Amino acid sequence: MSLHGQSLIAGRRSAGGQPVFQAVSPLDSTTLEGNFATATEAEVNEALEAAKAAFPAFRDADGETRALFLEAIADGIMELGTTLIDRARLESGLPVPRLEGERGRTVNQLRMFAKIARENSWYDARIETAQPDRQPIPKPDLRRAMQPIGPVVVFGASNFPLAFSVAGGDTASALVTGNPVVVKAHEAHPGTSELVGEVIAAAAAKTGLPAGVFSMVQGNGRTVGPWLAKHPATRAIGFTGSLAAGRALFDAAASRPDPIPVFAEMGSLNPIVLLPGTLKSRPAETAALLATSATAGAGQFCTKPGIIIATEGEGLDAFRTALSSAFAAVPPTTMLHAGIAATYCKSSRKLAEHAALTIVGRSSAEADTTATQGSALMVETTAEKFLAHPELAHEVFGPFSTLVVAKSADEVTDVLSTLGGQLTASIFGNDADLASSAPLVSQLSEIAGRVIINGVPTGVEVNTSMQHGGPWPASSDARFTSVGTAALERFVRPVSYQGAPQTLLPPALRDCNPLQIDRLVNGVHTRESIQ
């Protein structure tokens, strides 16, 4: 493997500017091969102008072509084989099985969207036929279908170097309907990004699409981000990362002369509510399950359970004891990069000494700082203290969680009502608990995008029914998801055609239904042609 370190602008390598940076492996703090040049403003502009120029052809390409493009990306990623997995491991510190699993998810997402492109099942086509004799005025022929919005900027996430990065869910869900994509590679895994970026560029060429449908720029988000967000051709932004960075992008997009939508997934506390029956009958098993969910992958999932709310009562001591043992047994784990580890280390040290918190359990082994390790930490407080200290409700990205002990169900409600928007919210209970939990589920559905019963929030299914996104600050727009088939709805808009002859209608709206899709015709769902 040899890495060129350049940005990819519409299929062409571009030399870039300053600073030139290297990836550092969190596994041993060594500098990795490859000198990566930060993209210049001229390169960012070039990428977006090329995206804009490529848009009409990409928009008008048929579903089969877009499907083949997505499948060629999937094939190309698999063909990289161990080259990709090895580089991703060095850059992210994530273990090989996890990366192989993440690659599988990435490729499956691309193939899932390829299927949608091939089926043309995303148009939401609606047709109202004319009634020239209607009184008091004739009814016009009116037809409405979705179409892509134009160039989408995607910011790669550090914690999923494959599934939420260059060819991840944001990119796939933008490409599927014909939106060109410009990716800002995450600076923690520029080599992984380059490998995947080259695959996408090659797939575009192979599929006969204009090179401008994909570009990837290298560099720091604070430098390159504003150029991407402010460019007139940018029509939307997909982002996964911190609240601070997501807010900055949101504000930049909202302050444009023509504001554009930002789909920022900014993390979450993912509260878990333990009901009395579970605490009483399954304290140890539940503790083990939650400890694993909170510390797997060094707790670097946006769905990590960051707060566990239990009510005083039978089983709580056993639960706490089991949690303590489970956390003690978690080995310190390499985190994604030195910056994340330093922030985690500082936050967890501060919290370990917080007057309102006691320590339930922590990794018994010593962390190796050369291996960028973070130690697991579980702390405890009361609902009363939690409510008195708003700083305890901030997400800590890493293998950390807080047990909040309430005196009553009302206190549980009070704690939940202070949390703000969440990606997920979970309940553990036995049948008797759940029989009386409708009000609790109702409250959780107001604050979260996904409500889970007797399950952990980590592990996000990718299918038609997933909602990954919740009220602010979990994400910037709770009406959309960044995971699953519905993710494509972020990057389309409806257009109505009134009185148009057949030849001027998009295929989805023509009488003969050439795409053979389900349509709403005069209020009735049908795949029939219009006579």
| Near its own copies in 478-497, by CB under 8 A | 478-479, 481, 486, 492-497
Q: Is the dihedral of CA 362, 365, 366, 368 positive or negative?
A: negative
Least distance (Å) between residue 117 CB and its own copies? 15
Is residue 500 within the footprint of its own copies (CB under 8 A)? yes
Is residue 421 within the footprint of its own copies (CB under 8 A)? yes
Is residue 357 within the footprint of its own copies (CB under 8 A)? no
Residue pair 261/236 in contact (Cβ under 8 Å)? The answer is yes
Least distance (Å) between residue 130 CB and its own copies? 10
Please count the other Cβ atoms lying within 10 Å of the Cβ belonging to residue 432.
11
For 310, phi then psi, to 5°, come to: -130, 155
Least distance (Å) between residue 448 CB and its own copies? 7
Is residue 465 within the footprint of its own copies (CB under 8 A)? yes
User: Of 1-60, which residues contact its own copies (CB under 8 A)?
Assistant: 56, 60
Q: Which amino acid is at 223?
A: T
Q: In whole angstroms, what is the distance from residue 283 CA to residue 295 CA?
A: 18
Is residue 449 within the footprint of its own copies (CB under 8 A)? yes
Please identify, using beta-carbon distances, which residue of 189 and 519 lies nearer to its own copies.
Answer: 519
Please count the other Cβ atoms lying within 10 Å of the Cβ belonging to residue 21.
18
CA atoms within 13 A on the CB side of 326: 25
Triad 350, 355, 357: Cα angle to 5° = 80
User: Of 283-342, which residues contact its own copies (CB under 8 A)?
Assistant: none
Active-site residue set = 265, 302
User: Of 62-101, which residues contact its own copies (CB under 8 A)?
Assistant: 101
* Options 149, 243, 367, 403; binder of its own copies; rule CB under 8 A: 149
Please identify, using beta-carbon distances, which residue of 264 and 360 lies nearer to its own copies.
Answer: 264
Q: In whole angstroms, what is the distance from residue 208 CA to residue 329 CA?
A: 53
Least distance (Å) between residue 55 CB and its own copies? 8
Please identify, using beta-carbon distances, which residue of 225 and 332 lies nearer to its own copies.
Answer: 225
Least distance (Å) between residue 228 CB and its own copies? 18
Least distance (Å) between residue 271 CB and its own copies? 15
Q: Is the dihedral of CA 180, 182, 186, 190 positive or negative?
A: positive
Q: In whole angstroms, what is the distance from residue 374 CA to residue 379 CA?
A: 15
Residue pair 347/308 in contact (Cβ under 8 Å)? The answer is no
* Options 467, 488, 507, 508; binder of its own copies; rule CB under 8 A: 467
| Segment near its own copies (CB under 8 A); pick from 14-22, 251-259, 321-329, 399-407 | 251-259
User: From residue 372 to residue 391, what is the string marking binding to its own copies with x (rule CB under 8 A)?
Assistant: --------------------
Please identify, using beta-carbon distances, which residue of 83 and 417 lies nearer to its own copies.
Answer: 417
CA torsion 339-297-474-323 (nearest 10°) is -110
Is residue 251 within the footprint of its own copies (CB under 8 A)? yes
Please identify, using beta-carbon distances, which residue of 295 and 476 lies nearer to its own copies.
Answer: 476
- The separation between the first and the last C-alpha atoms of the chain, rounded to the nearest angstrom, is 59
For 377, phi then psi, to 5°, come to: -145, 130
Triad 223, 228, 234: Cα angle to 5° = 170
Is residue 446 within the footprint of its own copies (CB under 8 A)? yes
Q: Which amino acid is at 279?
A: L
Least distance (Å) between residue 412 CB and its own copies? 16
* Options 289, 448, 487, 508; binder of its own copies; rule CB under 8 A: 448
Q: In whole angstroms, what is the distance from residue 271 CA to residue 441 CA?
A: 12
* Options 162, 452, 487, 508; binder of its own copies; rule CB under 8 A: 452
Is residue 261 within the footprint of its own copies (CB under 8 A)? yes
| Segment near its own copies (CB under 8 A); pick from 18-26, 248-256, 271-279, 382-390 | 248-256
Q: Taking Cα atoms as reference points, which of 301, 295, 341, 336 lies closest to residue 423?
A: 301
Q: In whole angstroms, what is the distance from residue 51 CA to residue 217 CA?
A: 13
User: Of 127-146, which residues contact its own copies (CB under 8 A)?
Assistant: 127-128, 136-137, 139-140, 142-144
